[in-house]
Structure 1
Amino acid sequence: MNTYYNKVKEYLLNLEFNIVQEDTAEELFVVENPDGGIANLIIDCEDPILIIEGLLFELTEENPEVYKSLLKKNREIVHGAFVLDESGKKIIFRDTLQLENLDQNELEATLNSLELLLSEFSEEIISYSKS
C-alpha cells in the first residue's frame, strides 16, 4: 500500500469526512459529509495525482444552455471544475492534486470549494438535473 494512500486517509479522518467505502487495492475512498452536502465523493490515489470526483447530476438530453451556464460557473469555482463524463450526460465535479507535496490544507480547500459550490449553486443544479 502506498504511503500517499495512508496520508490521504489520515487527512480525510482529520477533516471529519465519513469514509463510506475503501478499496486498498485500488487506493481509493468513497466519502461523504452530509453537513456539507457531499455524498459518494470518490477520492482516488493515482500516483502522481489525487483525483477527486463526484457525480452531481445526469442530463437526459443535450442542453447547450446548461453547458454554457456550467462553463461560466467554472470561472467562479475556487478549486475544481464541472466536467462531463465520456457519455456527455453525467455532470461531475472534478479536481486533481499532486500527491507528492499534498498537505491537509490543500485537500481541505478542494473539499470546501465543493461544499461552497453545492450551497451556492444548489438551486441551479437541481433545476438542471430535472432537464
Structure 2
Amino acid sequence: MGNNYFDKVKGYLLELEFQISFEDELECLFVVEKESLGIKNLVIGCAEPLLIMEQYILELPEPSMEIYRSLLQKNRDIIHGAFVLDETGRKVIFRDTLQLEALDLCEIEACFNSLALLLSEYSDQLIYFSKNLKSYSYEHI
C-alpha cells in the first residue's frame, strides 16, 4: 500500500477543511470531523484496495424489526454509503467504501456531502429511534 494513499487522503481531508483529530500513518487511519457538516469522529481507513468510511450514528435501546426496515428503506435514498449495523444489531453506523486507486477529490467530497445530507434530513427520525423505540410507528418516517 505505501504512504502514497495516506498522503493522498490526508491532502484531500485538509483541502476539504476537515479537522483531523487522530491519524496513524502505519495503519493509514484517520478520525476526522467537520462541524459545519455535522460530521464528528468519522473513521477513515485505507484497506487496499478500499477506502472505508464509518460514522457511528446511534445505539438502539433494543433490536427492532420496524427500525431495521425503516433504515433499509432509507438506504435506497442515500446517494453514497448506507446504514449498517454492528455485530450486536444495536449500533447504527453509516458506512461507505471507495476504490483507493481511482480516488479523487470530487468523489470523496460527494461521500461527505451525502453523509451530511443524511444527518440533516434524517436526524429527527434517528433521534426518535434512539429514544422511543417501543412506541415507534411508520407515521414518523
Matches of 2:26 and 2:89, distance apart in 1: 29
Q: How many residues align?
A: 131
- 1:4 corresponds in structure 2 to 5
C-alpha separation in 2, matches of 1:2 and 1:81: 28
CA distance in 2, matches of 1:50, 1:113: 16
SS in structure 2 of the partner of residue 72 of structure 1: helix
Asked if 1:100 corresponds to 2:88, the answer is no
Partner of 1:58: 59
Counterparts of 1:87 and 1:48, CA distance in 2: 27
- Any idea what the Cα deviations from partners look like across 1:52-109, whole Å, max 9, x if unmatched? 0010001121111111110010000000000001111110000000000100100000
In structure 1, distance between residues paired with 2:87 and 2:53: 17
Aligned to 1:114: 115
- Within a 5 Å distance, the mapping from 1:29-44 to structure 2 comes to 29-44=30-45
**Which runs of 5 or more residues in structure 1 are unaligned?**
none
CA distance in 2, matches of 1:31, 1:129: 24
What is the Cα-based RMSD across aligned positions, in Å?
Answer: 0.8
Structure 1 CA distance for aligned equivalents of residues 69 and 96 of structure 2: 20
Q: TM-score, normalised by structure 1?
A: 0.97
**Alignment-mate amino acid for residue 12 of structure 1:** L
Q: Deviations 1:14-40 (Å, cap 9, x if unpaired)?
A: 001110111112110000011111000
Deviation at 1:2, TM superposition (A): 2.1
* Runs of 4+ residues deviating >3 angstroms: none
> Percent of aligned positions with the same letter in both sequences?
60
Structure-2 separation of matches of 1:100 and 1:26: 17
- Greater CA radius of gyration, 1 or 2? 2
